[in-house]
Amino acid sequence: MTNAHTGDHALEPGFDHTVTTVVNGVPCELPVAAGMSLLDALREHLRLRGTKKGCNQGACGACTVHVDGRRVLSCLTLAVQCDGREVTTIEGLAGPGETLHPMQAAFVAADGFQCGYCTPGQVMSAVALLAEGHGGSDEEIREWMSGNLCRCGAYNGILSAIKAVRDSGTGDTDA
Amino acid sequence: MREVAYLAVADVDSAIAALAAHKNSMLLAGGTNVVDYLRAGAISPSVLVDISKVPITDVQVGEAGFTIGGLARMSDVAANPGMRAFFPVVSQALELSASAQLRNMATIGGNLMQRTRCGYFREAGFACNKRTPGSGCAARDGLNRPHAVLGGSGHCVATHPSDLAVALAALDAMMHLQGPAGVRQIALTDFYRMPGDTPQLENALQSGEMIVQVSANGTPGAAGSHYLKVRERASYEFAVVSVAAVVNASGGVIETARIAFGGVGTVPWRDHAAEHALAGVIAADSGALRLAADAALAGAEPLTHNGFKIEMGRRALVRAVQTAAGAR
């Protein structure tokens, strides 16, 4: 079966479940093993490598994506559980050559990163945070971003970026 | 990760039938605990029965009480306006748990079934009677700062990690369990088992059963109830010590209090001795409250590294009770 993102025929032994899902607006059928995480399916099958594998145990938030519009950890979500659901990754916010999502642009403007490894997860979480209505005080933003660790310590820049998007009123959607 | 089979079910009856039909099967809902511990090798089911799309997610709340569907998400229960108004201890316990992402995934039933965060349980290279019965307990003489001071045995001193369970213990919540024989109810405080010499048996859930609902009745003071959580960092961390306090005060005097502790026991720790000591105390009188708090955590037996939890728990109790009574 054909992977709509890469054109690959990716059937492999043991990959005996087929997940029908929509990833970044593109319908696709994914052959997966039962124990495969959504994170691995995105990165290894769909070659969507913007979503990062940090701890792979639900402790860092680098793998944050949206499933049916809610932010979740793709490392602890099994790919098979996404059958019939819609997944949005960092690539879904803005494709190559497209204008950056307002939250991405704000991270650049506010120095919301250093090494950048946690950034896709931070941005996906930040977009969700504003959509949830948790962008009030600095304290509230920090609390509701606490599931995304940044070992470079760019937290102040991240906070500034989120506030800038909040105040511009442009960033509360997936696309 | 070792190979595991998977099947998804659409309703409770199908889930119960699947559990009966497949040996060594395990329910999978939000996945936040099961997927992590499966990957770590701490648990080893042969079949995962996915109940994440079973529609028992309804939340009903009023002053008289609440019912929560077993598969309601933590985030949805916490944000329920009725829960915030009438049982804030539940919303607070939930929102002080994990992270926004994890709370969007994890279910109420799964939260109450989560396994301990004892590091020796997680790591297959260490002795752990809970993971491998009969292998010993690496924690008793190991690094046991996070472990229990109450309810432990020579076989296990792991704490129960759920904040929600602590809040529910203080509210005398009931668990509704469905199995092949139908639905039965059990008090949450009877649901959890002390480790004794069988720490692998953690609760009263029988093979083939699932949690379909959690409920509690309203009680005086519930609208002011409070959850205080002490952590190693400000957010996104399990409790070192926590207190759920439901206080009914009249004219500044505590009439009745319902108290449960987290982080200190092998099970969510309802503390009736503390409740008796608090009755009649003036909530604003910190000195009197501190004296009453000495009755809390009676019988605690500290391990090498966690004796501080006893004093920390009593101080947390004072603050939580004063907050719940509106005295600070």
User: For the segment B235-253, what is each residue's pLDDT rounded down to a tens digit?
Assistant: 999 999 999 999 999 999 9
Residues of A within 8 A of B38 (CB-CB) are 35
Residue A10: predicted pLDDT = 38
Choose among A25, A85, A13: nearest CA to B8.
A85
- Regarding whether A111 and A89 lie in a shared domain, the answer is no
Q: Which residues pair with B60 in a beta bridge?
A: B67
Residue of B101, B105, B114 for testing the chain A interface, max A β-carbons within 10 Å: B101
Residue B3: predicted pLDDT = 81
Residue of B nearest to A121 (CA): B101
Residues of A within 8 A of B41 (CB-CB) are none
Choosing from A48, A67, A93, the residue where a domain stops is A93
Which positions ≥6 away from B178 have C-beta within 8 Å? Answer: B12, B16, B209, B210, B212
Cβ distance B235 to A64 less than 8 Å, yes or no, reads no
Taken as a whole, chain B contains a residue count of 328
Choosing from A59, A74, A93, the residue where a domain stops is A93
Query: Is A22 an 8 Å CB contact of chain B?
Result: no
Q: How far apart are CA B74 and CA B102, in angstroms?
A: 8
- Regarding whether A88 and A106 lie in a shared domain, the answer is no
A23 to A113, A136, B147: CA distances (angstroms): 26, 30, 42
Q: Which DSSP state fits A155?
A: H
Residue A173: predicted pLDDT = 61
Residue A174: predicted pLDDT = 63
Q: How far apart are CA B304 and CA B157, in angstroms?
A: 12
Query: Is B36 an 8 Å CB contact of chain A?
Result: yes
Q: pLDDT tens digits, residue range B88-131?
A: 999 999 999 999 999 999 999 999 999 999 999 999 899 999 99
Cβ distance A61 to B101 less than 8 Å, yes or no, reads yes
- Regarding whether A71 and A34 lie in a shared domain, the answer is yes
- How would residue B72 be classed by pLDDT, with cut points 50, 70 and 90? very high
Residue A13: predicted pLDDT = 46
Looking at the domain assignment, is residue A89 inside a domain? yes
Both tokens assigned to B229: 């959580």
Residue A172: predicted pLDDT = 56
Residue of A19, A51, A53, A81 for testing the chain B interface, max B β-carbons within 10 Å: A81
Choose among B175, B166, B179, B187: nearest CA to B214.
B175
Residue A37: predicted pLDDT = 97
Residues of B within 8 A of A129 (CB-CB) are 100
Choosing from A93, A128, A144, the residue where a domain stops is A93
Looking at the domain assignment, is residue A7 inside a domain? no
User: Could you state, in order of their start, the residue ranges of all structural domains in chain B?
Assistant: 5-53, 222-324
Residue A76: predicted pLDDT = 98
The CATH number linked to A48 is 3.10.20.30
Query: Is A72 an 8 Å CB contact of chain B?
Result: yes
Looking at the domain assignment, is residue A8 inside a domain? no
Q: pLDDT tens digits, residue range B160-197?
A: 999 999 999 999 999 999 999 999 999 999 999 999 99
Helices vs strands, H then E, count in chain A: 6, 5
Residues of chain A falling short of pLDDT 70: 1-14, 172-175
- Regarding whether A39 and A61 lie in a shared domain, the answer is yes
Residue A169: predicted pLDDT = 84
Residue A129: predicted pLDDT = 98
Quote the ipTM score: 0.96
Cβ distance A71 to B98 less than 8 Å, yes or no, reads no
- Regarding whether A89 and A21 lie in a shared domain, the answer is yes
Three-state SS across chain B? Answer: CCCCEEEECCCHHHHHHHHHHCCCEEEECCCCCHHHHHHHCCCCCCEEEECCCCCCCCEEEECCEEEEECCCEHHHHHHCHHHHHHCHHHHHHHHCCCCHHHHHHCEHHHHHHCCCCCHHHHCCCCCECCCCCCCCECCCCCCCCCCCCECCECCECCCCCCHHHHHHHHCCCEEEEEECCEEEEEEHHHHECCCCCCCCCCECCCCCCEEEEEEEECCCCHHHCEEEEECCCCCCCCCCEEEEEEEEEECCEEEEEEEEEECCECCCEECHHHHHHHCCCECCCHHHHHHHHCCCCCCCCCCCCCCHHHHHHHHHHHHHHHHHCCCC
Q: Is the dihedral of CA B152, B115, B173, B224 positive or negative?
A: positive
Total domains in chain A come to 2
Residue of A nearest to B238 (CA): A59
The reply to whether B222-324 shares the fold of B5-53 is: no
Looking at the domain assignment, is residue A175 inside a domain? no
Starting at the edge strand found earlier in the chain, the sheet holding A86-88 runs A26-32, A17-23, A86-88, A64-67, A70-73
- Regarding whether A107 and A129 lie in a shared domain, the answer is yes
Residue A145: predicted pLDDT = 98
Residue A116: predicted pLDDT = 98
How many C-beta neighbours within 10 Å does residue B251 have?
Answer: 7
Q: Which DSSP state fits A174?
A: -
The CATH number linked to A121 is 1.10.150.120
CATH number of this structure's domain B222-324: 3.30.390.50
Residue B55: predicted pLDDT = 97
Mean pLDDT throughout B46-69? 98
- Tell me yes or no: is domain B5-53 CATH 3.30.43: yes
Residue B156: predicted pLDDT = 98
- Cβ(A157)–Cβ(A112) under 8 Å? yes
Residue B138 pLDDT exceeds 80: yes
A41 to A3, A58, B150: CA distances (angstroms): 11, 17, 43
Host H or E run for residue A88: strand A86-88
In A, residues 156-175, which contact B (CB 8 Å cutoff)? none
Which positions ≥6 away from B35 have C-beta within 8 Å? Answer: A37, A75, A76, A77, A78, B28
Q: Which residues pair with B8 in a beta bridge?
A: B50
- Cβ(B292)–Cβ(B213) under 8 Å? no
Q: How far apart are CA B183 and CA B64, in angstroms?
A: 22
Taken as a whole, chain A contains a residue count of 175
Torsion of the alpha carbons at A165, A166, A171 and A174, rounded to the nearest 10: 130
For A65, the domain range is 17-93
Looking at the domain assignment, is residue A135 inside a domain? yes
Residue-averaged pLDDT of chain B: 97
Residue A16: predicted pLDDT = 87
Q: pLDDT tens digits, residue range B274-305?
A: 999 999 999 999 999 999 999 999 999 999 99
Backbone φ and ψ for B137, nearest 5 degrees, come out as -125, 110
- Cβ(B216)–Cβ(B174) under 8 Å? yes
